[in-house]
Amino acid sequence: MARRRWRAARLLVLAAALGGALGAGVDAQGAGPETGAGRVVPGYPFEFPRDHFSHPAFDTEWWYYTGNLEAASGRHFGFELTFFRKTRAVDRVEPSAWDLDQFWLAHFTITDTREERFIVDERANRSGPGIAGSDVEKRRIWNGNWSVEWRPGDEARPTQVLTAMNRTASLRLTLSPRKPAVVHGHGGVSRKAAADPRAASHYLSFTRLAATGTLTIESEAFAVTGLAWMDHEFFADYPIEGKVGWDWMSIQLDDGVDLMLFGIRDANGGYGADTTGTLVDAGGAARHLEFGEVILRPGRRWRSGSTEAEYPVEWEVEIPGIGLRLDVRPRIDAQEVFAEGGILPAYWEGAVVVSGEREGKPTGGIGYLEMTGYAEEFDTGGIGDERTGAESGSAR
């Protein structure tokens, strides 16, 4: 099958595969949010609620929500709702609400484990007169009628209400953090490549969100509960040569420990030293895992009928320093995020189950796995050049 080229918006961390834009420039001198000029800055002064919302000076930004849900019957579902923002240079005589300087994309997926069904939708909009955006005053991030609203209250553990729908499914969840937000990396900078400190982002997560709400598929409604995870990253685009893909995991263990792990692949499928992550203990204290401290081993592969990509859907994870070994398995194999004619490139992101041992004792849990760069060649230039902001999507 001839490999197709896509216009890509997810230009960096998630997508080491998006044409080599794998990191953000770091300003080693340091600066505040106004003087940093869109550069990732060591010692960045995080301030909330401001930093839960948009940073237009930075080239690329996203908010990622994933989770595992159960109905009262025990039926399992996974979900993903992601908002992407891309800053574009716009030549203008006079500013207009219809400018494409801030371009917004979003993905919504549902995994129905029992029916082995994966529902996918994608949409794209310019900011326009309120069509899509992020607003700290309104405490809201949205793209059309997909949204996350942040309830007033405890800024360390803010309640969020997530809403998304398409012709097949609708989801409304209330997410309540069990732990405060974690800022990944050192000094507020999450580095992506061991050899180049300029490849980095500002990256924070709520690693354990109690989820409760309603999921409807076709005409059947389910009251659901479960655990969710939220990632928020912003950065300036910075290319790194020789890297083609990104493998990322969020893991929530039954003992209350959470793990964010990732590796950035080269053309031969290896990571070199470029594996790292964060361990968050049951009380919410975070420990950065240094480059090379995490071992990721891909296992069984699944072949997509849509893109013909082969994804390693089973993994072994080791963190020898803490005596941890895990097996990661998909709830179902077919969890490729692919919208025919869509803007974002195909990638695999889906619900997983985890088993293994820590210091000789059995452990287990749940999580989400993301794999990019297996399906397509990517072209990171000109996001939005060929789209004017109409919504697009498909469900399958």
Give the integer Cα–Cα distance in Å for 126 and 102.
6
Phi and psi, residue 196, nearest 5°: -135, 100
Q: Measure the CA–CA gap between 236 and 248, rounded to whole angstroms.
A: 20
Tokens 């005589």 sit on residue:
93
Question: What would the mean pLDDT of 362-387 be, rounded to a whole number?
Answer: 69
Residue 102 in contact with residue 85, Cβ under 8 Å? yes
pLDDT in tens, 109-135: 999 999 999 999 999 998 888 999 999
Distance CA 15, CA 248 (A): 10
Say yes or no to pLDDT of 295 above 60: yes
Residue 84 sits at the vertex; the CA angle it makes with 198 and 248, to the nearest 5 degrees, is 60
Confidence of residue 395 (pLDDT cuts 50, 70, 90): very low
What was the pLDDT predicted at 369? 98
Region of poorest pLDDT, from 27-31, 132-136, 355-359: 27-31
Distance CA 160, CA 81 (A): 13
d(CA 3, CA 8): 15
Name the average pLDDT for the chain: 85
Nearest to 335 by CA among 308, 297, 369, 367: 369
pLDDT band at 94 (very low <50, low <70, confident <90, very high): low
Query: Is the Cβ–Cβ distance between 250 and 367 less than 8 Å?
Result: yes
pTM confidence score: 0.87
- C-alpha 394/C-alpha 232 separation (Å) is 25
Secondary structure (DSSP) of 337-372: E--TT-SSPPEEEEEEEEEEEETTEEEEEEEEEEEE
At residue 361, does pLDDT exceed 90? yes
pLDDT tens digits, one per residue of 143-192: 999 999 999 888 889 999 999 999 999 999 999 999 999 999 999 999 99
DSSP 3-state assignment of 51? helix
Mean pLDDT of 367-378: 84
Distance CA 278, CA 89 (A): 34
Cβ contact 297:316 at 8 Å: yes
d(CA 155, CA 52): 10
**Rounded mean pLDDT, 319-333:** 98
Domains observed in the chain:
2-380 (2.40.370.10)
Instruction: State residue 175's pLDDT score.
Output: 98
Q: Which helix (H) or strand (E) holds 146?
A: strand 146-150
Query: How far is residue 184 CA from its own chain's centroid?
Result: 14
Nearest by Cα to 139 from 38, 51, 34: 51
**What is the rounded distance in angstroms from the CA atom of residue 87 to the CA atom of residue 30?**
22
**pLDDT at residue 9 in the model:** 33
Give Cα 304 distance to the centre of its chain. 21
Question: Among candidates 190, 198, 194, which has minimal Cα distance to 27?
Answer: 198
